[in-house]
Amino acid sequence: MKQEARNNGLSRSRRSWNNVLSYLRQPAHIILIVFAVFLTLSVLLPLLSLLRDSLTIHIGGEATEYGLSVGSWTFVHWFQLLFNSEYNYSIICFWKPLLNSTLMALVACLVAVGFGGALAWLVTRTNLPFKKFISIVFVFPYIMPSWSIAMFWENFFKNSTVAAAYNQVGMLEAITHITVPEWCVYGFFPCAMCLGIHYAPFAYILIGGVLRNMDANLEEAATILKASRFKILRKITLPIVKPAIVSTILLVFASSISSYTVPAFLNKNGSFATISITMTSLLNQSTTKGMGYALAIVLLLLSVVILAINSYITSRRSSFTTVTGKSGQVSLINLKKKRYVIGTIAVIIVGFFAIVPLFSFAFESLLAIPGSISSFTWYYWITPDQIETRVAGDSCGILRNATIWKAIGGSLLLSTIVALVAGTSGILIGYAVSHKRGSRFANYVSNLAFFPYLIPSLSFGAIYFAISYMNGFSWLHGTMFLLIIVGSIKFLPFASKTGTNAMLQVSGEIEEAAIIEGIPWWKRMVRILFPIQKSSFISGYLLPFTSCMRELTLFVLIAGAGSIITVVLQNFEISGVTQISNGINLIIILIVIGVNLLVNKVTGASIDKGIGG
Amino acid sequence: MKKIRCLLLSAVAVAATVGLASCENGGDSTTIEATIEAAEKMSETELAAKAVEEIGSGKLIVRSQTSGCAKVLAAFKTKYGIDYDETAAAGSYKDYQLYTALDVVSSGQYYSDMVMIQDIRSLKQYMNDKILYSYQPGDIEGIATEDQNPMAGIYFNKLFMYNLSEKNNINFTNVWQLAGSSSDTGHIGHLSFQSPSTENINMNFLLSMTSPSGISKLTTAYKDYYGADYVESDDYANIGFKFISEYITNVTTFHSSDTTAVKATLPADTDNTVFYCAFAKYKDLIKAIKTAGSLTDEEAATEAAKVLGWEDQIDGFKGFLYKMYPMIPATVKYPYATCLYVRYLMTSEGFTAGWGGEYGYYSANPANDIKEGDKTIDYWKANCLVEDGDYLPTVKNSVVSFVNACIASHS
């Protein structure tokens, strides 16, 4: 009305200018514009590059193979991938592995949401004992690389009846003399389980954050009206946590379907072909790179379908608000006598998958001959001798190795900056998207913010590697700044999803009261919104930090030899000094755990405390 | 407002697409070829003088898939006073990482002065596309014809090996024991092999079965093993395809790392398993034994020799012999210094600095020494399937599809 009154009697250009000013006065609009431009350039470019790579002939043999010139446009890669009937290639190497991977990812989602969601509910909504321990320890499986859980699974379940494991006796058989069949050790089931366990903390964090802030009056009102526990869960609790569940499924599905290390590790019997292994195989060969890029697009499209479902579900419901201006209280369900039984079971399961693998890592770094207890030695931790490796600089024992500690410093710096950039951007995007929910522009920014997660890390890193060699961008090459840009974009999806979910929970009336009082936007963010959703926002910082600390594939082409710890780790791994690489892995995990505890100490909030620990 | 937003984003997207499409431009291949040709005709003294003048206070950038190159660079610097980038030299690269990185050379960008790279199948394509060039020192004699153009730097071998433990009872005399069926006499039922989906050298090993040399060796070994000539069938295009299919079916374990297999798994195996692994990993087994038992080098070598069985005479082939090549990218900054470095690593002094005294490393210059106790390069050429640089680049994707289909159907 005010704007209309101002516009009456003005020229058209003046009216337009007023409209622009009015538009830009809203912080949500400015945020959307800034991120729309930035993400279009930084995300759309790799996407278009990936698409182009799936439709052009590359250097390295494709020209000879297909009789076309390098750089020419063609659908041959797609045809070869989808419809090649020679040796039933497309069926055996594409369609069947695609089905395998999709089913594996879906089961992993089930395990992650079921396990993580159930635990989140127990911790936030009941009087379960040992909450602090469970909350602190349950995030460990995500902090560990997924292949370490796979390695632990194999070491635990392999036994003398499994030929693919060289008939070696694993922990279960050694302790209990129980042997499990081969399908429990290698193949579909263990891959799905390991991925589900690895990503269960996602569900725990996202669902738990929503449950923590949910007003218990809703459930209590239903109880008074004599609704059964199951009905309350179905009609009240689940609908409220639906966006968190869908976000978890989205993140877990996208990660699981393209997971390479777990299926590579747990497919020693060659019985379970997955699409990620096919993709790696295609990208490895210079005559099939185009097919590899086409496959990357297919994976991306699958995840886009889930993204579309997510958008549809969140846009249908009018509100997911759980935090309002009215007082909210949390009352816990009394588990009565069963609380200690349930608590003990939870502690055993969580401890088993979270702590035992850490000991396994530590142990492997102390054995000169892997798997041979008689070769126990502190050598790889304390020796001053220069071990023969291809690592630049020091290659002595871990504790004395200046190269390792310098690289750890580099990784900490990189991960901290990436966490701050991605986390803050995620909050801002979440704010803008929640305020303009349903608008096409907000959907565009929200979806674009998630796309980096869907692009394979190898391709993403390779694209920015190529950009760093282009005229005008060569100053980026080999710099920490390039790593920060790539890391911030790649890990933005975590932060944007948690930021959006957190903002969707907050009722508009809280901010409206502050607006009426004339409080500036930045103060509303810092003094009101951030403190209310501190636990969710902290997750938005810690998830990129954790992912960045243990990321290798994304940075392997663009990072210098000793600049970050994961590259140093690979060098030791390739040099055959697996003891040191296992030791480095242990250090990375302990550092991330330590940072989590430090954040808890400094801010008073952390993932575990926010969810009821 | 909506229109302004749409226009803004469309402009950005178009700019991005145009930018992407305009990335391709090439380097000057004629100059590099001429420079390399000139360097090939120079003596060591002439080349050294030219190299020092060319590089001045600059640094040579060498990226390699073998750690020995960094050691050679250190010795090279001591001898000629030419400095090098230590960080680049110490980097570790897998095949696809290095080939992906080399793609920037096609757009005229400088990446490296030299790359030491394997996988002849990809390499030949990059040479055809004028991304990589080979330098052949004119004054080093004795390099075999098959090791020229591109010039091979180092040979490696992957062998069939097993644990010599008394609990094992392996009598491995014919390569067809790894194929066929369990009802065949002497059939070896446990085979550990790194998946060719992720290990290009193993893919090339399998593809080599269909080469003229591979077919010849397999046919002779078939007759020795089954006592009858191989009869062509409709199931397989030739005997090589048959062997690939049966060999992959026979694999019990697709191990993920040759180093772990040789260092840890093989020494503990009592299941009559044959491992197909890089012979160069023998040194890792010796080091592991040395560290575990706090032994001297000689004691550890003696103990390792009691564990690792590799010297059997096997009809057909004992394994696969492949090469690593010192190649010069088209956008090299210091071509003369690079040629001098390549020349140096082909000499006895250079090779010894990088790879001397270890099992499994052989110079393409037969004048350079091998590890005492190892076999000569001529022995391995006669007893292994050798990487055929003329055949492998001609292998069509259909053969690769066959191999991948066999692996994906494995159960």
pLDDT at position B26: 39
pLDDT reading at A40 higher than 70 = yes
CATH code: domain of residue B338: 3.40.190.10
| Residue in A36, A268, A557 closest to B97 by CB | A557
The least confident of A499-508, B31-40, B199-208 is A499-508
CB A539 within 8 A of CB A209: yes
Q: What's the full length of chain B, in residues?
A: 411
pLDDT at position A613: 36
CATH code: domain of residue B279: 3.40.190
Whether B17 contacts chain A with CB within 8 A: yes
pLDDT reading at B116 higher than 90 = yes
pLDDT at position A324: 54
Look at B198 and A264 and tell me if their CB atoms are within 8 Å. yes
Higher pLDDT, A587 or A1: A587
pLDDT at position B363: 94
pLDDT at position B273: 95
Q: Give residue-wise pLDDT tens across range A526-552.
A: 887 787 777 778 878 888 898 899 888
B298 shares a domain with B207 = yes
B365 shares a domain with B300 = no
- At residue A330 the predicted structure's pLDDT band, cuts being 50, 70 and 90, is low
Both structure tokens of A106: 């879906």
B24 in any annotated domain: no
pLDDT at position A321: 57
Closest by Cα among A310, A277, A363, A280 to A101: A277
pLDDT reading at A1 higher than 70 = no
B11 in any annotated domain: no
Higher pLDDT, A308 or A298: A298
Both structure tokens of A456: 């394979």
A310 contacts: CB under 8 Å, gap ≥ 6: A243, A246, A247, A250
pLDDT reading at A285 higher than 90 = no
Higher pLDDT, B209 or A216: B209
Higher pLDDT, A491 or B294: A491
B48 in any annotated domain: yes
pLDDT reading at A472 higher than 80 = no
Query: How far does B409 lie from chain A, in Å, by closest CA?
Result: 7
pLDDT reading at B194 higher than 90 = yes
| A-interface mutation test, from B85, B197, B279, B290, most A Cβ less than 10 A away | B197
Q: How far apart are CA A112 and CA A102, in angstroms?
A: 15
> Bridge-partner residues for B324, per DSSP?
B154
pLDDT at position A527: 82
Both structure tokens of B194: 């790194």
pLDDT reading at A563 higher than 90 = no
B201 shares a domain with B273 = yes
Domain that holds residue B247: 155-321+397-408
Helix (H, G, I), strand (E, B) or coil at B244: helix
pLDDT at position A84: 93
Q: How far apart are CA A388 and CA B288, in angstroms?
A: 12
Helix (H, G, I), strand (E, B) or coil at B62: strand
| B-interface mutation test, from A42, A159, A166, A289, most B Cβ less than 10 A away | A166
Residues on chain B touching A165 (C-beta within 8 angstroms)? 253
Percent of chain B scoring above 70 in pLDDT: 92
Query: How far does A362 lie from chain B, in Å, by closest CA?
Result: 17
B293 shares a domain with B401 = yes
pLDDT at position A611: 38
Termini Cα distance of chain A: 49
Q: Report the pLDDT averaged over residues A583-597.
A: 88
B145 shares a domain with B198 = no
Query: How far does A499 lie from chain B, in Å, by closest CA?
Result: 24
| Residue in B20, B103, B291 closest to A52 by CB | B20
B166 shares a domain with B140 = no
B109 shares a domain with B250 = no
Whether B129 contacts chain A with CB within 8 A: yes
Both structure tokens of A515: 């607006």
B107 in any annotated domain: yes
Q: Report the pLDDT averaged over residues B332-345.
A: 96
* Strand-pair category, B132-134 with B319-329: antiparallel
Q: How many structural domains compose chain B?
A: 2
- At residue A390 the predicted structure's pLDDT band, cuts being 50, 70 and 90, is low
pLDDT at position B272: 93
Residues on chain B touching A388 (C-beta within 8 angstroms)? 67, 287
pLDDT at position A329: 55
Q: How many CB pairs under 8 A join A and B?
A: 240
B131 shares a domain with B107 = yes
- At residue B312 the predicted structure's pLDDT band, cuts being 50, 70 and 90, is confident
pLDDT at position A317: 55
pLDDT at position A261: 84
pLDDT reading at B27 higher than 70 = no
Neighbours of A65 (CB within 10 A): 21
B269 in any annotated domain: yes
Q: How far apart are CA A110 and CA A194, in angstroms?
A: 12
B256 shares a domain with B141 = no
B292 shares a domain with B164 = yes
Q: Report the pLDDT averaged over residues A218-236.
A: 78
Query: How far does B43 lie from chain A, in Å, by closest CA?
Result: 32
pLDDT reading at A571 higher than 60 = yes
Rounded alpha-carbon distances, angstroms, from residue A8 to A2, A25, A312, A375, B2: 10, 20, 40, 88, 22
Q: Name the residue in chain A with its Cα closest to that of B97.
A: A557
User: Which run of H or E residues covers position B158?
Assistant: strand B154-163
pLDDT at position B21: 42
Encoded amino acid at B141, one letter: E
Q: Give residue-wise pLDDT tens across range B44-55.
A: 999 999 999 999
What are the strands, taking DSSP E only, across B2-88? 62-64
B301 shares a domain with B161 = yes
pLDDT reading at A319 higher than 60 = no
Look at A369 and B288 and tell me if their CB atoms are within 8 Å. yes
Q: Report the pLDDT averaged over residues A12-21.
A: 81
pLDDT reading at B278 higher than 50 = yes
Q: Report the pLDDT averaged over residues B106-132.
A: 90
Higher pLDDT, A242 or B365: B365
Q: How far apart are CA B404 and CA B411, in angstroms?
A: 13
| Residue in A164, A388, A561 closest to B91 by CB | A561
User: Which run of H or E residues covers position B114?
Assistant: strand B114-117
Q: Report the pLDDT averaged over residues A314-341.
A: 65
pLDDT reading at B355 higher than 60 = yes
Q: Give residue-wise pLDDT tens across range A340-356.
A: 898 999 999 988 888 88
Q: Report the pLDDT averaged over residues A234-248.
A: 79
B10 in any annotated domain: no
Q: Give residue-wise pLDDT tens across range A167-197.
A: 888 889 988 999 999 999 999 999 999 999 9
B269 shares a domain with B403 = yes
B15 in any annotated domain: no
Query: How far does A212 lie from chain B, in Å, by closest CA?
Result: 38
- At residue A6 the predicted structure's pLDDT band, cuts being 50, 70 and 90, is low
Give the B window 363-392 contacts with A, CB below 8 Å.
Answer: none
Q: Which residue has the tokens 């608000």?
A: A321
Higher pLDDT, A561 or A607: A561
Residues on chain A touching B265 (C-beta within 8 angstroms)? 166, 371
Spell out the domains of chain A, with CATH numbers in brackets.
383-613 (1.10.3720.10)
A405 contacts: CB under 8 Å, gap ≥ 6: none
- At residue B161 the predicted structure's pLDDT band, cuts being 50, 70 and 90, is very high
Closest by Cα among B181, B167, B198 to B250: B181
B1 in any annotated domain: no
Q: Report the pLDDT averaged over residues B2-17.
A: 51
- At residue B117 the predicted structure's pLDDT band, cuts being 50, 70 and 90, is very high
ipTM over 0.90: no
